[in-house]
Structure 1
Amino acid sequence: MIKGIVMSLVGQTALVTGGNKGIGRAICFALAKEGVNIIIAARNESESKETQDQLKDMGSKAFEIPVDVRNEEDVRRLISRTIDKCGRLDILINNAGVALKKRLEETTVEEYDKIIDTNLKGVFLCTKYAIPYLRRSKNGKIINISSIGGLHGIPEFSVYCASKFGVNGVTEAIAAELEGQIKVYSICPGAVDTDMYRSIYKSRPELKPENVAQKVLEIASPESRVASGKIIEISALPIPQI
């Protein structure tokens, strides 16, 4: 077992959607270093297995489970297999997401559906089926990885912004619904240096996936005093221009 700095997290289980790369991968490593059991949930099985193996090399208990967060049956199976493998679920990290830089009038219905279904429906499904198990935890937490685009509209990202505004709205609503049972948060990073970001922009932002992971770690701790329902912006970096 890894000796964690946040000792109260040792032995807990975290499910991280999109945990195979970028922000999600950094979150997996940050939590694993504190002795948290990790479920890596993503569509790309080869990347997930690579992350799983690296976590196991660190001494972490880690499992990769393939999932398409847009598919209800996939998500049901994900939660069931999480419990089968770890016996508990304490922390849900809704991180899986996609983006598209395109003017609204040029965006197809298929592109709209992909973004909304991944970024918002995925949060709905994972949260819905995780809640019964999170209720059993003394540290039940849902941490949604949103975006600065969920706080401010960004030109040519209208559908992405709609999905992230939705995530923040859901966060505030279910925090009230689950008051006293499960704590719910939304983290809104600015520009983060990830593959997804680099596929859109040429610049390299200062904010790294590890910066987001550190904030997740702080909130995940049972000692955290951050109020449930909080929408947390962790970067004031300007929106880049091509």
Structure 2
Amino acid sequence: MTRTIQQLFDLTGKTALVTGGSRGLGLQLAHALGEAGAKIMLSSRKASDLEEAAAELQAAGIDARWIAADCANEADIRRLADETLERLGHVDILINNAGAAWGAPAEDHPVEAWDKVMNLNVRGYFILSQHIAKHSMIGRRSGSIINVASIAGLGGNPKGMNTIAYNTSKGAVINFTRALAAEWGAYNIRVNAICPGFFPSKMTVGTLKAMGEEALAAHAPLGRLGDDEDLKGLCALYASDAGKHITGQWLAVDGGVSIVTGG
């Protein structure tokens, strides 16, 4: 019998690990999954931030817990994966969101900053995806991996935004998503990417902050920045059976910025 739309989006009984989940876009994605019924494991580096985020989710009636870990550190990534599996039993949904950015002209960009961004934004995604897949998803022949990329991975930047390492890393995440989806489709693991545009929580990056919210909003045909709801729908689609025939895809959630600037 064909399921209803409410049944297709229902995540009751599912488990999710969300990295970079203590604030901003990661916390929004955790809300989306939890509100649809999933049990949530949050991770980021700072325990105090995680305690606050978990309390916020729990106050909304969401089953949430946390593990502090640095997703730039391989040993920490593997500890995070193993502790999550021990505490949740398995992982149905993995959201790779922990990331870093660095603003500097390409000719002056520090190599160590390039390495920091690429290590967290690309290498970290790969290690955690591999570990969770091998120890939970492949054997169960089921899973959804959602990689948070960016419209910065679709092309260049508006004038004045010098984020060469970030752009490069997010372009890599998009093709990582495609390549992984092609390999792991045989295990019924779906891999998709979300490409956010300008959100207030991303304004901590120096070049974004310098431009100001009004200037950034002016780049969007819809004339505004993203808000605390704008990623929820796509996240729920990718994570649930409503999107069970979608894999290897990316979608920009950017108010139309990418259609007029190319990224």
Rounded to whole Å, the distance in 2 between the matches of 1:213 and 1:193 is 16
Counterpart among 193, 208, 224 of residue 186 in structure 1: 193
* Alignment RMSD: 2.0
Alignment partner, residue 221 of structure 1 = 240
Rounded to whole Å, the distance in 1 between the matches of 2:87 and 2:203 is 30
Alignment partner, residue 142 of structure 1 = 145
Alignment of structure 1 residues 193-208 onto 2, 5 Å: 193-197=200-204, 199=206, 200-201=208-209, 202-203=212-213, 205=217, 206-208=225-227
In 2, are the aligned partners of 1:194 and 1:209 still within 8 Å (CA)? no
Matched pairs, number: 236
What's the CA shift for 1:60? 2.1
In 2, are the aligned partners of 1:11 and 1:35 still within 8 Å (CA)? yes
Rounded to whole Å, the distance in 1 between the matches of 2:253 and 2:142 is 23
Alignment partner, residue 234 of structure 1 = 253
Rounded to whole Å, the distance in 2 between the matches of 1:153 and 1:134 is 35
What's the CA shift for 1:13? 0.7
Q: Does 1:151 align with 2:154?
A: yes
Letter in 1 for 2:110: T
> What is the CA deviation profile of residues 77-96 of structure 1, one whole-angstrom value per residue up to 9, with x for unaligned ones?
11111111111100000011
Alignment partner, residue 14 of structure 1 = 16
Rounded to whole Å, the distance in 2 between the matches of 1:12 and 1:137 is 13
In 1, are the aligned partners of 2:10 and 2:37 still within 8 Å (CA)? no
Rounded to whole Å, the distance in 2 between the matches of 1:198 and 1:78 is 26
Identity of aligned residues (%): 33
Rounded to whole Å, the distance in 1 between the matches of 2:59 and 2:140 is 27
Rounded to whole Å, the distance in 2 between the matches of 1:13 and 1:77 is 18
What's the CA shift for 1:18? 0.2
Rounded to whole Å, the distance in 1 between the matches of 2:140 and 2:60 is 25
What 5-or-longer segments of structure 1 have no aligned partner?
none
What's the CA shift for 1:159? 0.8
Q: Does 1:167 align with 2:177?
A: no
The higher radius of gyration belongs to 2
Letter in 1 for 2:10: S
In 2, are the aligned partners of 1:12 and 1:37 still within 8 Å (CA)? yes
Is 15-24 or 47-56 further displaced after alignment? Answer: 47-56
TM-score by length of 1: 0.90
> What is the CA deviation profile of residues 69-119 of structure 1, one whole-angstrom value per residue up to 9, with x for unaligned ones?
111111111111111111110000001111122101111111111111111
